[in-house]
Amino acid sequence: MYAKSAHSQLGESMSDSRYVPRSFAVTPTEFGQKSGIEWVPDTDLPNKELDWLRASQLQHGFSRQIRLAIGRDYESVQEFADVNELDYRRLSRMLRGEAIMRLEDLAAIERTLTQMIVLNT
């Protein structure tokens, strides 16, 4: 239901083509932006999609904290990416929930921020 085709227009690698995190938000444009967003109901979701829903919620929380941290120290996400030699396109897509955030992405972001990212769930 919330999975996407491996031939997505987003141009992700096959390892990232399982689902789009923001697709689990009732209002996808709020992903990574607002606190307390509404999520799709978890009733009748198969176990795999329940896992994707929870992973999406976790990524949303990290994305919000990353945006706040970037906003304290940089003029923009673009500047943060440029200064720290991160792929701006991928970073932006992860923060919007269009791409899956991997632990290695989180580690690279955390390494470059002045404040540690802690998820409050």
| pLDDT tens for each residue of 3-46 | 553 333 333 443 446 899 999 999 999 999 999 999 999 999 99
Averaged pLDDT for residues 66-95: 95
Owner of token pair 């976790």 = 58
Own/partner contacts of 88-97, CB < 8 Å, gap of 24 or more, are 93/10, 94/59, 94/63, 95/32, 95/63, 95/66, 95/67, 96/22, 96/31, 96/32, 96/63, 97/20, 97/21, 97/22, 97/23, 97/25, 97/28, 97/31, 97/32, 97/56, 97/59, 97/60, 97/63
Helices (H), the chain: 47-73, 77-83, 88-96, 103-112
68 and 81 Cβ atoms separated by less than 8 Å: no
Instruction: Please give the model's pTM, rounded to 2 decimal places.
Output: 0.82
pLDDT score, position 46: 95
Cβ–Cβ < 8 Å for 113, 73: yes
14 versus 102: the higher-pLDDT residue is 102
Question: Which tens digits make up the pLDDT trace of 47-64?
Answer: 999 999 999 999 999 999
